[in-house]
């Protein structure tokens, strides 16, 4: 779909993880923290209109990472899930939203982590690494390639669809997808409309050179939204691209090849 979410695989039944919360300024952020405390930390940042559970638990990611020995920390981004949902668009710029993720690490006393984001979450991961040098020991951009710097299309129609009185009144195909998913997850559509209007800020091309940590860029070969993973990886000091065969934006996130590539990437870049 877009810089948003990943779906729950058909037939998958995985128990929810109880959420905790903390305050970042006047915004309450919900999160979970699981896995061995002796393991290195992976911070997970979900995509637009999703949640930590939809993006990472129900797709098997948390189980995969914990079984591999990692401590896994994930948050519901502001405007999503169990976190607070302000309605002003100024609350959703990438630096502000990335600041919630940093505040979570500070809250837990974690100074450094591998950071993996999907779609919008990948954009937030990039801004986190840019604004707070040294926090990310490695980055994974899932579902977002050159769209990080080029943009991923005009999304005003998405906000319109989210605010429309009913799904039946929406004619824009992409808008209908977003609205249907928001309805399915019981999301606050007004908060999502505010989020999508501010969270799509482009990452400055000139600052790609400042992302000196290892970066894995993983995009499905049928993803028509993310942009080229190769073109983005080539502009990063230590970037590498992986193509997830026959997967679109929606299906890439739970793919076994994606999981295998990330585990190999983390294992090969496991230094502090």
Tens of pLDDT along 81-99? 999 999 999 999 999 999 9
Q: What are the boundaries of each domain within the chain? A: 20-152+201-268
Helix and strand totals (H; E) in the chain: 10, 8
Q: State yes or no: pLDDT of 139 exceeds 60.
A: yes
Show the tokens assigned to 54: 């939809």
| Claim: this prediction has a pTM higher than 0.95 | no
> For the residues 259-271, what does the mean pLDDT come to?
90
**pLDDT interval class at 272 (50, 70, 90):** low
Q: What are the Cα distances from residue 216, in Å, to 40, 166, 234?
A: 18, 39, 11
Region of poorest pLDDT, from 11-15, 137-141, 160-164, 220-224: 11-15
Q: Where are the alpha helices (DSSP H) in the chain?
A: 52, 61-67, 94-108, 120-131, 147-150, 156-163, 173-185, 189-198, 229-234, 256-268
* The residue to which tokens 């911070």 are assigned: 43
Question: Considering the chain, what percentage of its residues have pLDDT values greater than 70?
Answer: 94
pLDDT computed for residue 207 by the predictor: 98
CATH number for 20-152+201-268: choose from 3.50.50.60, 3.40.50.2000, 3.20.20.70, 3.40.50.1820.
3.40.50.1820
């Amino acid at each position: 779909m877009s810089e948003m979410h990943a779906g729950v695989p058909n037939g998958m039944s995985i128990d929810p993880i109880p959420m905790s919360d903390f305050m970042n300024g006047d915004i309450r952020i919900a999160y979970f923290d699981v896995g061995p405390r002796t393991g290195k930390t992976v911070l997970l940042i979900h995509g637009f209109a999703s949640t930590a559970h939809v993006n990472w638990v129900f797709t098997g990611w948390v189980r995969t990472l914990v079984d591999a020995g990692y401590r896994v920390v994930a948050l519901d981004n502001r405007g999503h899930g169990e976190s607070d949902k302000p309605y002003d668009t100024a609350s959703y710029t990438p630096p502000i939203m990335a600041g919630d993720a940093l505040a979570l690490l500070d809250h837990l006393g974690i100074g450094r982590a591998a950071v993996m984001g999907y779609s919008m979450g990948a954009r937030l991961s990039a801004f986190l690494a840019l604004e707070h040098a040294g926090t990310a020991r490695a980055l994974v951009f899932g579902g977002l390639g050159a769209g990080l710097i080029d943009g991923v299309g005009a999304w005003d129609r998405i906000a319109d669809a989210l605010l429309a009185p009913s799904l039946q009144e929406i004619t824009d195909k992409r808008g209908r997808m977003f609205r249907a998913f928001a309805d399915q997850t019981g999301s606050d559509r007004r908060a999502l409309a505010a989020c999508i209007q501010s969270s799509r800020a482009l990452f400055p091309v000139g600052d790609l050179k400042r992302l000196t940590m290892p970066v894995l860029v993983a995009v499905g070969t049928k993803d028509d939204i993310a942009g080229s993973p190769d073109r983005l990886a080539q502009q990063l000091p230590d970037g590498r691209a992986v193509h997830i065969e026959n997967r679109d934006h929606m299906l890439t996130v739970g793919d076994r090849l994606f999981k295998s590539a990330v585990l190999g990437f983390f294992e090969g870049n496991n230094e502090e």
